[in-house]
Chain A
Amino acid sequence: MTAHTFFRSRFLLARAWPALLGLLLSGCSTLGSVGADTFTLEGELPADFALEAQAHYGVANGCNGRARTRSFESDFEDSPHVYRFRIPVNYRDGLCEMRLARVGLFINGRYGDKDWQRTYDNGGLELVDALPEGAPRFDGNGRLSKTAECIWLFQLSKAHSRKGEVSRLLSCNGAGAHLAISELMDKTVELDISISTTYKPYLRGYWLNTQHGWKPCTGRWGTDYEERCTEPPQFRTFKMNGRVCSVFPNCTE
């Protein structure tokens, strides 16, 4: 053993002392559980999606500490892929026993190379003492599976640096669950993300759905953006990645 690792293990031991003491006092016999109570969050992501989980912890004993956050991230990939996070349910931070309260989810999606062509929607896992009625539970294999359904909403960007371009918002349904904290240890929450193949305009009544796709209206207020459709409708062009288009998402009719 090198001097360096020796120092580290002594250090760890010193930090673990209060925990060991706590274990003895509470008569708990699960050895090796210190800092290792986790559950797994995993699932499938469509191409050009990534997932970020922020685990929020509160102090569970009387120590004078701050609330903490830990982040888990998966990267964007060009094809469908899986992610897997092992998230601590409890851990020890100095004298503080930290307990998971909530996992905030950022479902990140991209639709181009530019910085602004990525956005996100939120979801979350709420940890509760008792599950609300009708909430899905872990199955016999210790798994809870859910699918979040996402859809892209499009509009003409209101930012001047991308004037006339289509920008998108991500809207996801069902990216959340209630979990009973007492049941969570060593379980697996499977949250798959799916993306709809159809699109919806962000502003209702401002785009007209034609057989070739969505067309943005103009001719009402004289703005640079899409406007509520008039009768009969007048259409305008827009840009997608620099290309001049008349319908979304196919660009040309």
Chain B
Amino acid sequence: MDFSPSTVGLECPNRQKGISFRLVDEHGIGKPYAGLAYQLHDSQGQTYAGYLDEDGYAEASQLYPGVAVLQLSEGYSGNDAWYTAISSREDFRLPLTALQIAAEQSPSGPRRSDGKTFLAEARAKRECARFLRVEVSDFAEATGHLPECDLAWEPRPTAQLKCNAGIAQCHPGIALAPDTYHLLEVKALRAYSPLLSRDKKFCALNAYHLAVMGAFAYAPFSTRQEPGRPYASTPPPYTNPGSIGHVLREQLARLEKSQLFGEASYHLLYEEVPYSKRLEVMPYDSERYQKEASKGWRNPEDVHFLHHEQSDTQAFITHNDKIMLISVRGTLRLKDFLLDADARQVPFKEGTGQAHRGFYNAFSAAKKFVERYMEAFYIGQTIIVCGHSLGGAVALLLSAWINSNWSKDTQLYTYGAPRAADQAFVQNANELTHHRLVNHNDPIPGVPFIWMDAEWKLAAAGVVALFSSPAIGISLLLGGLLNLQGDPYQHHGEQRHFATRKPGSGSASAVMWQPNCALIDEQVCARYAGALNLKDDMPERTAFITQLASFSEHSSDSGYSRAMLTTMLRWHGSVTERGGALFTRAEITDIDGLIRNAEEELASWRPRSFVEFRNEIRLRHDRRFYNKTDSELMQLYSEGITAIRQLSAQQRDALNRARQRLLNEADRKLIAQDIFGDLWQRDDIPSLIEQWLALASNRKAAQLAQRSSSPKPTFV
């Protein structure tokens, strides 16, 4: 717009007698504050009370001349069930005011390039008003539950002016100058919340966001514990970037998008929500919340973060009005765990069956922590649990308990999780929705490996398989599979498998599908289980285990979060550009190649004769076969061979079914629900995803995902 000098001069006659003011939101609109009760206190102690009009305006002329203090501290008295609950609960009861709730309802306003809002300021100029920026905390008697003061939000009412307000200055609120019309822009009390579907059905959005949340559980809540120092929680502010407290309390709660979760760097899809409906971190106010402090909830960290020394378990829990989010981290010392742990099981007292002892101990600690949190803050939200690696195993036990006790509205996503419990447990927990994501080259889901069991008897058939065939590749696989299937551990949940399409191409181009066939699903785990069984002596195993623990495909960041980001981008590309095709032609060819390879390997298996088998054992001096007579060996041999034949036949059928499934899946059309779950119909989704896709790192990842799916010449 072009202003000529003659139109600039607005007329602002100084006709104000008394004090007037208008509260507006970041769009310059006063309606959100209509009907709000206010009090003006003059310097002589007179109070003038009233209600703001339909455009947030009020004036008072009967005041004693001079500075007056505007008080807006009327308590919230609306009928919203959520606001009522958080202001009525015994633990961390929030002193909500009507002003706070009004400020939570208006979306944040547009910003200039310097980050400042401008609509309210423009209105102030038009209306010749003195323009001030205020925050809800300027009027609140208690501010521990509100974001810390935004220093960039100015011009602010001055403290100096309030000093001139006489006895009025003891009232909470801001000082207004006499004979002036004020336009007060209230900062929108809004927060970012990561989008999560409440529908139990698998969706790419949840899988991606929860992969990042799983990685996030490795981060400290405030600062990392120094070795040798006992763990202690820290009061806010949480300034350490990437820490859980920093992301939840200092970033999302202050309408800042977080890109760093622990050490993983990702952009999530966020929605803007009213501040009190964000992922809550309890307020810090040691005066007001003494009772909470005395019960061990001294710092927000104590409420939301579990650090259990004995089982080396960490978890964080937070919630908003719709969901309760729990992320579990298993031991950081994965290598130690693999070396030390045995496969011993203990009864799962909270349900049926037996669970791994180590995981059960970690679960017991997590349960105690989660149960108290839920007693205090759960009011029927959808419960979403996630966990990576050993944390996934603990998350499974925890979710099974939550699902049977707290709410059937529970969903679990695990990433590279080992097997936590036995068949009875798995059957009993079949009502629990568990999406289990496994990278093709990740050996950890095979844990506990059979050798962890002192009674290696269970592995006999597998070991026979290993020694009975010279073709070491396939016998490793079959032997390992026999071990995995013959031991007392079972996987729970519906598996989704990330297949790497070309050797070395990594998670950036992984394709997710559901083979439902052990020879592919568990191929890598089986090979490692087999290989471990061949390594009879400890030093060799130690070296091997060290290698296992450092597989990049098992990493929560470069392995799972990356693969899930790729899937999310590919699925979105498919729905918007390829008419919903799940796989490209090239991808089908590649995956079919995986199946064909497995079939060929299976067909190549030829058993050795008994004599060769016996020689092999003697050659290897395998202690496990010492003291066996020839006829005992013969029996082991023939049982082993029979088991392998049965397994081979069974896997041939499974491979066939996997191929059928692949072809069927190729025909299935992906729809928006597969990506966004129950959020797909929301009006704001297209613009949110557009902004998200436009982020440079996502554009790059999309290209990477895309490049590998472009058709290649047949001779490559």
Tell whether, in the assembled complex, residue A169 and residue B376 are in contact, meaning their CB atoms are under 8 Å apart. yes
Tell whether, in the assembled complex, residue A159 and residue B407 are in contact, meaning their CB atoms are under 8 Å apart. yes
Q: Mark B213-246, 1 if CB is under 8 A from A, else 0.
A: 0000000000001011111100000000000000
> Measured between C-beta atoms, what is the minimum distance from A250 to chain B in Å?
21
List A contacts of B404 (CB < 8 A).
161
How many Å lie between the Cα of A124 and that of B298 in the bound state? 11
How many Å lie between the Cα of A116 and that of B350 in the bound state? 10
Q: Does A235 contact B (CB under 8 A)?
A: no
Give the contacts of B60-94 with A (CB-CB under 8 A).
79, 81, 84-85, 88-91, 93
Tell whether, in the assembled complex, residue B406 and residue A160 are in contact, meaning their CB atoms are under 8 Å apart. yes
- Find B405's partner among A66, A116, A220 (CB 8 Å cutoff): A116
Give the contacts of B101-135 with A (CB-CB under 8 A).
none
- Find A69's partner among B88, B294, B309, B376 (CB 8 Å cutoff): B309
List B contacts of A173 (CB < 8 A).
291, 294
List A contacts of B408 (CB < 8 A).
160
Tell whether, in the assembled complex, residue A123 and residue B227 are in contact, meaning their CB atoms are under 8 Å apart. no
Give the contacts of A84-103 with B (CB-CB under 8 A).
96, 101-102
Q: Residue on A with the closest CB to B84?
A: A228
Given contacts A58-B230, A124-B296, A167-B375, contact A161 B350 (CB under 8 A): no
How many Å lie between the Cα of A25 and that of B310 in the bound state? 33
How many Å lie between the Cα of A84 and that of B349 in the bound state? 29
> Measured between C-beta atoms, what is the minimum distance from A134 to chain B in Å?
15
Q: Does A4 contact B (CB under 8 A)?
A: no
Given contacts A119-B371, A159-B405, A175-B294, contact A203 B228 (CB under 8 A): no
> Measured between C-beta atoms, what is the minimum distance from B347 to chain A in Å?
13
> Measured between C-beta atoms, what is the minimum distance from A148 to chain B in Å?
8
List A contacts of B231 (CB < 8 A).
56, 67
Given contacts A59-B229, A169-B375, A169-B376, contact A121 B295 (CB under 8 A): yes
Q: Residue on B with the closest CB to A56?
A: B230
- Find B372's partner among A96, A115, A120, A162 (CB 8 Å cutoff): A120
Given contacts A59-B228, A115-B350, A223-B380, contact A174 B294 (CB under 8 A): yes
Question: What is the total number of residues of chain A having a CB less than 8 Å from a CB of chain B?
Answer: 51
Number of A-B contacts (CB under 8 A): 114
Given contacts A67-B309, A102-B232, A203-B85, contact A161 B406 (CB under 8 A): yes
Q: Residue on B with the closest CB to A127?
A: B230
Tell whether, in the assembled complex, residue B296 and residue A121 are in contact, meaning their CB atoms are under 8 Å apart. yes
Q: Does B379 contact A (CB under 8 A)?
A: yes
Tell whether, in the assembled complex, residue B374 and residue A158 are in contact, meaning their CB atoms are under 8 Å apart. yes
Q: Does B378 contact A (CB under 8 A)?
A: yes
How many Å lie between the Cα of A203 and that of B377 in the bound state? 11
Q: Is the interface of B mostly helix, strand, loop or mixed?
A: loop
Tell whether, in the assembled complex, residue A176 and residue B294 are in contact, meaning their CB atoms are under 8 Å apart. yes
- Find A158's partner among B81, B88, B379 (CB 8 Å cutoff): B379
List A contacts of B380 (CB < 8 A).
158, 223, 225
Q: Does A195 contact B (CB under 8 A)?
A: no
Tell whether, in the assembled complex, residue B309 and residue A122 are in contact, meaning their CB atoms are under 8 Å apart. no
List B contacts of A202 (CB < 8 A).
89-91, 376
Q: Does A248 contact B (CB under 8 A)?
A: no
Tell whether, in the assembled complex, residue A161 and residue B405 are in contact, meaning their CB atoms are under 8 Å apart. yes
Q: Does A204 contact B (CB under 8 A)?
A: yes
Q: Does B15 contact A (CB under 8 A)?
A: no
List A contacts of B232 (CB < 8 A).
101-102
Given contacts A56-B309, A58-B230, A67-B228, contact A221 B81 (CB under 8 A): yes
How many Å lie between the Cα of A162 and that of B375 in the bound state? 12
Q: Does B368 contact A (CB under 8 A)?
A: yes
- Find B294's partner among A59, A123, A200, A221 (CB 8 Å cutoff): A123
Q: Does A112 contact B (CB under 8 A)?
A: no
Q: Does A238 contact B (CB under 8 A)?
A: no
B-side interface residues toward A, CB under 8 Å?
A: 79, 81, 84-85, 88-91, 93, 225, 227-232, 291, 294-297, 309-310, 349-350, 368, 371-372, 374-376, 378-380, 404-408
Additional pairs, 19, CB under 8 Å, beyond known A65-B227, A153-B90: A56-B309, A59-B228, A67-B229, A68-B309, A71-B310, A104-B296, A119-B375, A120-B368, A120-B372, A122-B296, A122-B297, A160-B408, A161-B404, A173-B291, A202-B91, A204-B93, A223-B81, A225-B379, A227-B81
